[in-house]
Amino acid sequence: MQVFTWRAGYDASKAVAPTVKVIKFGDGYEQRQASGINRLPRKFSLMFKNRTEVIAEIDDFLSARGAVEAFHYTHPGQSAGVFVCREWTRGDIAYGASSLSATFEEVFE
C-alpha cells in the first residue's frame, strides 16, 4: 500500500462522525447504540499550496489511486490510518504556484 508523504498547510481540519444507531420513540425520547468496532472514522480536509511541480505530484498520486485504492496517511499529531480520497480540487494561485484541496476519509480494510 502506498504512503502519502506530503504535508498539508496549517488550515487543515479534522471531522469525526461516530457511527451510531438511533431508535426514536414518542415524545422526543430516543435510544442510541454504538455501531461497529471502528465507529470513529476520521475525515481530514487538507489544503496544499506549493510550487506547481509539487502540486502535480500530489494530483498524480491521487489520480493513480482513483478513489478506489487506499493509502497510508499520518496527519501531524494524529495516529496513522488508511484513507481514500474521493474528491480533490486543483487551482492556480500565481505563475509557478498552485493549490490543491482534498478530503481524506478513513477506511477500515
Listed by start position, the domains of the chain span 13-106
pLDDT band at 84 (very low <50, low <70, confident <90, very high): very high
pLDDT digits (tens, 9 = 90+) for 50-66: 899 999 999 999 999 99
> Confidence class of residue 88 from pLDDT cuts 50, 70 and 90?
very high
Per residue in 15-45, pLDDT tens? 999 999 999 998 999 999 999 899 999 999 9
Strands (E), the chain: 13-16, 20-24, 30-34, 42-51, 71-73, 81-94, 97-106
Q: What is the mean pLDDT of the chain?
A: 94
The C-alpha cell of 46 is what?
A: 487538507
CA 29 to chain centre: 34
Residue 11: pLDDT over 90: no
Mean pLDDT of 43-48: 96
Grid cell, residue 92, equals 492556480
Residue 10 pLDDT exceeds 90: no
